[in-house]
Amino acid sequence: GALLALNKPPGLPVLGRSGDLSLDALLPALRQRLGLAAELHVVKAPAREYSGLVLLSSCYHTTKKLQQFFTNARCRGQYPATYRAITVGVPAEVEGEICTGLCWQQRGDRAMVRGCQWAGGTEDTPGSAEGSALQVVPVPAPGRRSLARKDVKSTRTRYQVLSAAGGCALLQLQPRTAFPEQLQVHLTLLLCPALGDHEHASQVGRVLGVPFFLSPETAPTRTQVLDEELLSRLGLSPRQLHHLPLHIHLQELVLP
């Protein structure tokens, strides 16, 4: 009917400034190529750094109905979106749920950004903070006031280890909530950052091979560090590491 699904490569933003390459800027050409009479709307899409399913619609009412369905499903405790991730490290438990508060914070400063409101079907990509001094940080025990003021959002992700080999794992991730960079931060709290996460992986340190969590204030952002064995298996040199994309993929969406 009105629905169209695409497989987005990593690094392509959903929205962008005028003249920039983005999914939104490509929709008129896609509409013309497919010979569609109506405009295409983005119903659901993964964040810029993620790959995977993009759900489009040529019917405005269908778009709004589905976006409301995704929001309501999360409120009912359901998991309408399923992701896959490759992690550096294997979680101690084969399945579980990560629960933590998340907020935006100035790099090197404790000042939070208040009133973070993400709307629409692309809540995973709410307008990039790229190039700014903002970062998403965990708040392990947020207070009621900070949650009520929306300084902090309570977030949850269910995970399951599907397979593991060579110190890496393939995880299934089902977010119950939507917040920018939620999956990356949750994986660092598992002490298993996503492969290609150059934003948060530095928050997982190691002493004698044992991983531990470093606070964002003490772990500056840097290109992810991988051991020589993993680099060899990936066929990469240390100089090529910054080109390694984030290995988080939106694999499945449940529709009503």
Average pLDDT over residues 243-253: 96
Res. 51: pLDDT tops 70: yes
Kindly list the distances between the CA atom of residue 158 and the CA atoms of 54, 73, 81, 175, 190, in Å, as whole numbers in the listed order.
21, 15, 11, 6, 12
Helices and strands (H, E) in the chain, number of each type: 5, 11
- CA gap 58, 41 in Å, rounded: 6
Average pLDDT over residues 75-88: 94
pLDDT of residue 70: 93
pLDDT of residue 149: 85
Out of 105-119, 140-154, 160-174, 212-226, the most confident range is: 160-174
- CA gap 115, 118 in Å, rounded: 10
pLDDT of residue 132: 55
More confident residue, 148 or 65: 65
pLDDT of residue 19: 81
Q: Kindly state the DSSP code that residue 202 receives in the 8-state scheme.
A: G
Averaged confidence pLDDT in the chain: 87
Q: How confident is the model at residue 108 (pLDDT cuts 50, 70, 90)?
A: low
Q: In this prediction, what percent of the chain has a pLDDT beyond 70?
A: 90
Contact present, 249 and 81 (Cβ < 8 Å): no
Average pLDDT over residues 238-242: 89
Kindly list the distances between the CA atom of residue 100 and the CA atoms of 26, 107, 187, 190, in Å, as whole numbers in the listed order.
36, 20, 12, 12
- CA gap 177, 99 in Å, rounded: 10
pLDDT of residue 99: 94
Average pLDDT over residues 141-150: 85
Q: How confident is the model at residue 129 (pLDDT cuts 50, 70, 90)?
A: very low
Q: In this prediction, what percent of the chain has a pLDDT beyond 90?
A: 61
Res. 67: pLDDT tops 90: yes
pLDDT of residue 210: 85
Average pLDDT over residues 19-25: 90
Res. 128: pLDDT tops 50: no
Contact present, 120 and 67 (Cβ < 8 Å): yes
pLDDT of residue 211: 87
pLDDT of residue 185: 95
More confident residue, 256 or 247: 247
pLDDT of residue 113: 46
**102: β partners:** 138, 153
Res. 252: pLDDT tops 90: yes
- CA gap 55, 88 in Å, rounded: 29
Res. 24: pLDDT tops 50: yes
Out of 171-175, 178-182, 210-214, the most confident range is: 171-175
Phi/psi of residue 37, nearest 5 degrees: -80, -35
Q: Which domains does the chain have, with CATH numbers?
A: 3-80 (3.30.70)
Contact present, 197 and 187 (Cβ < 8 Å): yes
